[in-house]
Chain A
């Protein structure tokens, strides 16, 4: 069974479009995350939700809007896509937001903006 799943796996779109990435975890975890990994492999936190509440909101353009309908799902909507948004986006989850818990990562969504 897939622990953390994301759809789509690949997303190719034109500048200016709006797109969404979906994430689901079946681990029963309370906390979910969105990370962006750029071409240099640098993995940077964007958002985190704990029990549907936003707990981390990094300096990310407000074109990016996360939504957590329940604690098993965390979606990412991106408006007015730009070339610089091209990256791999990873969803992750952990038991809770404390510092001692492993984060489990989804397979990633490779976003290419043309």
Chain B
């Protein structure tokens, strides 16, 4: 069974700190990875996608991918209370059509 695993949290960080969210995956064929943010009672929305080893930055968000270690992370700099949500990590094998989601990490940013 191909899986994506995340620590369910909750992860609590003070406002202005860096929040670090981690994810591991079991399918070595996974080629593309996504971080979605889901507010309570709302639908998931894409934050970042990453396909190559290394870092990808977009504003306050940095995604990191290490295919050798089968590890994906999301860093949120200058965390804001509005960042409080569940963050879903997802991986996809381009040979297939399925996106496999992790169970999500709940993040709380304390004002």
Chain A residues with CB under 8 Å of chain B are: 31, 40-45, 48, 50, 55-56, 90, 97-100, 102-103, 105-108
Partner of A43, one of B31, B45, B88: B88
Chain B residues in 8 Å Cβ range of A48: 97-98
Binds A, one of B62-70, B76-84, B99-107: B99-107
Which A residue sits closest to B29, measured CB to CB?
Answer: A99
Consensus secondary structure, chain A interface: loop
Name B's A-contacting residues (CB within 8 A). 31-32, 34, 38, 42-46, 49, 51, 86, 88, 92-94, 97-101, 103-104
Cβ-defined contact, B88 with A106, below 8 A: no
Q: Are B97 and A102 in contact (CB under 8 A)?
A: no
Can you report 9 A-B residue pairs in the complex whose CB atoms are below 8 A from each other?
A41-B86, A41-B104, A45-B100, A48-B97, A56-B98, A99-B92, A102-B34, A102-B46, A105-B45
